[in-house]
Amino acid sequence: MSGQVNGWTSKTVVRTKGIGDCDSENEWTSKTVERTKEIGDCDSENEWTSKTVVRTKGIGDCDSENEWTSKTVVRTKGIGDCDSENDWTSKTVVRTKGICDCDSENDWTSKTVVRTKGIGDCKSENEWTSKWVDK
């Protein structure tokens, strides 16, 4: 696919959903999604300005697109992106959640969160100003 696909401006979106899946386009029950957006996009934590997002969700997952039950999310955003905790200003985020996690995309239950933000970021415990956080 090319052009506008659910707001994605450039590359291919591959989506596979199983029978009886929920009503959010983010509740993937089986396979992988790869998304790439152009620089200058805004307004949503899902609007990545530079690199690729690979997401895998398991069957029966919860009602937030951020509640990953199995694999890894790698996210990269460009400098100057918008004002949410997901607007990373420099490097890479690797996130892994365990089965049946709940409530918040920040409630990581198992592995490591690696976050790097630029100088001058603030206001939230999620706005990391330098290096590693292990949970």
Mean pLDDT of all residues in the chain? 39
DSSP 58-74: -TT--SSTT---SSEEE
Which of 26-35, 40-49, 52-61, 126-135 is the least confident region? 126-135
Q: CA nearest 13: which of 52, 64, 41?
A: 52
Find all residues with CB under 8 Å of 54, minimum gap 6, and list them.
Answer: 32, 33, 34, 72, 73, 74
The pLDDT of residue 25 is 45
- Predicted confidence (pLDDT) per residue in 57-114, tens digit: 443 334 344 444 333 444 444 433 333 444 433 333 344 343 333 333 433 333 333 4
* Residues 29-35, mean pLDDT to the nearest whole number: 38
pTM equals 0.13
In eight-state DSSP terms, residue 105 is: T
